[in-house]
Amino acid sequence: MKKRIVASLLCMAMVLGSLAGCGSQGTSGGSASTQSAAASAGETAEASSEAASGTKAAAGDMVTLSLYIPTLAPYTDEAIAEVQDAINEHLAENYGIQTKLVYTEIGNFEKAINLAMTTDELDVTCYFTGNGQLSNYVNNGQLLDITDYFNNASEELKNSFTEAEITSSSMNGRMYGLVRKYQYGGKEVAVLNKEIVEEMGIDPASITDMDSLGEVLYKVHEAHPEIYALVPQSMNDMTWNSPWVGGVGLTSFAYTNDIESTKLQSVFELDSFREFCNYTHQWYQDGLIMSDAISNTQEGSSMVTAGAAFATLHNADIDPLDTMYPNTVISATIIEPRAVSTDIGNLQYGISTNSAHPDEAFTLLSALYTDSKLHTLLSYGIEGKHYVINDDGRADYPEGMTAETEPYGGFAATATYPNYLLNPLKETAVVDDYKTAVDEWNDKVKVSKTFGFYFDTSEYGDFITAYKNLEEKYLHSIKTGSVALDDVLPTIQSELEAIGFYEVIAKMQEELDAYLAKQ
């Protein structure tokens, strides 16, 4: 899930792995008539109804706090309003506060919250930390320092987080949010169209690397030239869970070649990036990848589900992706589970600096991680209407309802919510205890050697902007294969030199080496 992020996605989206990845980041779909404007056009959808107004009136002078959440699946406005009413009844009884739910499609979420953070309209929000976003939010003064709030919080809340998770939401020893309770990092897989897999007798388990994926893509392209063999994971991003390591030191410009490396480079100069892009460029040249991938506005797994594409790369975790994306099957692992510096806590929840009610906002933030009834309402919806508990004690869709028809999309894609460990197990869960499964996953996943290192970029604003513009200019066109890396690398290196990249990376390398020497 960019995380499923994600994303979408979340997909962050994620993903959204850390929907898958931003953990299971990434589905969007449905018509504008059956989902919020956020899911169809990227605009925020604020829950409102006469019933909601009645709840607020009954709540008297209680503070109402906005809660911003990225969507990975369709939500109807009616369902959001119903869930908001139920949540507010619970909040009024237990915390003396109210909330307003604001949902935004994951691909447009970052833009939406950056705009909302300039006002007092936003109180508590999800945010993604990939590509150095945590340091950007902190350096821009957008996130409230919650260190003292956390230190004075309940033992239940404090004991919910590992030292690594606290480090992931901190800079210079100060906390700015709470990480999503999920597994660290993710593995790379391919999401495949089930109908074509069965029709052509493809063995998904045989797809274990980019070579074997390519062999299958060529066969599908020959048999079904009318569809795309491979599409980006989300929008124009070929994959969130990239086979290179990024986000070193909470930056958006420093990368290492693999999980074990500590040599800092630009992404364009990594051997692993070159290898990946050589595959995609060849596939693009041979017509396997959609020709307009660089301007794609759709989420890859949704296209695979609909039969418009055969495959997309995706970041996965302990949850089975094929239950989230109907009509799909999943390949074997293409890249083993690993977590870079920004994967541990790649999705977090924090408080806007401009919130008019920081004390009440932390009350809501804390409850999101400790109150199982609140969290289940928020992520699953209303029991009996949006989900049911079956005879096995697991959550499932109500009779006759599916992921496509259930109106409150959170149950279909819970990766962007704060603490899914609080929720009842889903019928589709492949484990009996999510907490145990997550702990076991985290124990085996490889973590970048650079984890915990922080590079202060507060004096490099102009440089960071210049580098971001450079990446936006080249990165996705190279990753999707529409441009060959070797054709533009000399130009990129000249531009890197012009913006002072090599001087900055040398200073950062010096600080990283000193940090590692003390570990």
Amino acid at 467: Y
Range from 7-21, 121-135, 301-315, 344-358 carrying the lowest mean pLDDT: 7-21
Q: What is the pLDDT of residues 118-138, one digit of tens each?
A: 999 999 999 998 666 888 899
pLDDT digits (tens, 9 = 90+) for 137-167: 998 999 999 999 999 999 999 999 988 889 8
Residue the block writes with tokens 């959204």:
16
Per the CB < 8 A criterion, the answer to whether 117 and 328 are in contact is: no
Q: What is the DSSP string of 60-92?
A: TTPEEEEEEEEESS-B-HHHHHHHHHHHHHHHH
**Using CA atoms, how far apart are residues 237 and 250, in angstroms rounded to an integer?**
20
* Cβ atoms within 10 Å of 196's Cβ, excluding its own: 23
pLDDT of residue 120: 95
- Is the pLDDT at 182 greater than 60? The verdict is yes
pLDDT over 90 at 11, yes or no: no
pLDDT tens readout for residues 347-358: 999 999 999 999
Q: How many CB atoms lie within 10 A of CB 297?
A: 10
Ranges of H-type helices in 177-245: 194-200, 210-223
d(CA 179, CA 458): 23
Q: Mind spelling out the 3-state secondary structure of 362-378? A: HHHHHHHHHCHHHHHHH
User: Is pLDDT above 90 for 510?
Assistant: yes
pLDDT digits (tens, 9 = 90+) for 475-498: 999 999 999 999 999 999 999 999
Quote the percentage of the chain above a pLDDT of 90.
Answer: 61
Q: How far apart are CA 390 and CA 385, in angstroms?
A: 13
Buried b (16+ CB within 10 A) or exposed e, 467-493: bbebbeebbbbbbbbbbbbeebbeebe
In this prediction, residues 269-277 reach a mean pLDDT of 94
pLDDT bracket for residue 372 (50, 70, 90): very high
Average of per-residue pLDDT across 89-97: 98
How does the average pLDDT of the chain come out, rounded?
Answer: 85
As a whole number, mean pLDDT of residues 211-218 equals 97
Compute the 3-state secondary structure of the chain and give helix, strand, coil in percent, each to the nearest 5.
40, 15, 40
CB atoms closer than 10 angstroms to residue 327: 15
Residues 6+ apart with CB under 8 A from 60: none
Phi, psi angles (nearest 5°) of residue 45 = -120, 115
pLDDT category, 36, cuts 50, 70, 90? very low
Q: Is the pTM above the cut of 0.75?
A: no
CB 270 within 8 A of CB 255: yes
Q: Dihedral (C-alpha) 12, 13, 15, 16: value to the nearest 10 degrees? A: 130
pLDDT over 60 (residue 28): no
452 phi, psi to nearest 5 deg: 95, -15
Q: Is the pLDDT of residue 264 over 80?
A: yes
CB contact burial 365-389 (16+ within 10 A = b; e otherwise): bbbbbbbeebbbbbbbbbeebbbee
Burial class (CB in 10 A: 0-12, 13-18, 19+), 399: exposed
pLDDT at 50 over 60: no
Query: Strand 174-175 vs strand 228-231: parallel, antiparallel, or unpaired?
Result: unpaired
What pLDDT sits at residue 452?
Answer: 80
CB atoms within 10 A of CB 444: 9
According to the model, what pLDDT value does residue 130 have?
Answer: 67
pLDDT number for residue 84:
98
User: Sheet holding 178-179: strands in order across?
Assistant: 45-46, 97-105, 63-71, 124-128, 347-351, 178-179
Contacts of 436 (CB under 8 A, 6+ apart): none
pLDDT band for 91, please (50, 70, 90 cuts): very high
Query: Can you tell me the distance from the alpha carbon of 115 to that of 401, in angstroms, rounded to the nearest whole number?
Result: 36
**pLDDT computed for residue 303 by the predictor:** 94
pLDDT value of position 8:
36
Quickly list H helices, 371-457: 372-380, 434-444
Percent of residues, the chain, with pLDDT higher than 70: 86
Local confidence band at 107 (pLDDT 50, 70, 90 cut-offs):
confident
- pLDDT, residue 326, reads 87
Average pLDDT rounded to a whole number, residues 232-245: 79
Give the rounded distance of the alpha carbon of 214 from its chain centre.
26
Does pLDDT of 16 surpass 90? no
- Tokens found for residue 459: 């004096």
* Nearest alpha-carbon partner for 327 in 219, 389, 261, 402: 402
| pLDDT attached to residue 333 | 87
Q: Whole-angstrom Cα distance, residue 229 to residue 222?
A: 9
Of the pLDDT bands very low, low, confident and very high (cuts 50, 70, 90), residue 340 is low
Q: Is the pLDDT of residue 241 over 80?
A: no
Check if the beta carbon of residue 20 is closer than 8 Å to that of residue 6. Answer: yes
Among 332-336, 337-341, 495-499, which range has the highest average pLDDT? 495-499
- pLDDT reported for residue 343: 66
Provide φ and ψ at 157, rounded to 5°. Answer: -70, -50
Please classify residue 459 by burial: count the beta carbons closer than 10 Å to its beta carbon, then call 0-12 exposed, 13-18 middle and 19+ buried: exposed
Can you tell me the mean pLDDT for 399-414?
A: 88
Q: How confident is the model at residue 46 (pLDDT cuts 50, 70, 90)?
A: very low
Angle of helix 461-479 relative to helix 485-498, nearest 10 degrees, comes to 180
Please say if the pLDDT value at position 512 is more than 90.
yes
**How far is 113 from 458, CA to CA, in rounded Å?**
21
CB of 47 within 8 A of CB of 80?
yes
45-84 b/e (C-beta count within 10 Å ≥ 16 → b): bbbeeeebeebbeebeebbebbbbbbbbbbbbbebbbbbb
Three-class SS state of 212: helix
Please tell me the predicted confidence (pLDDT) of residue 78: 97
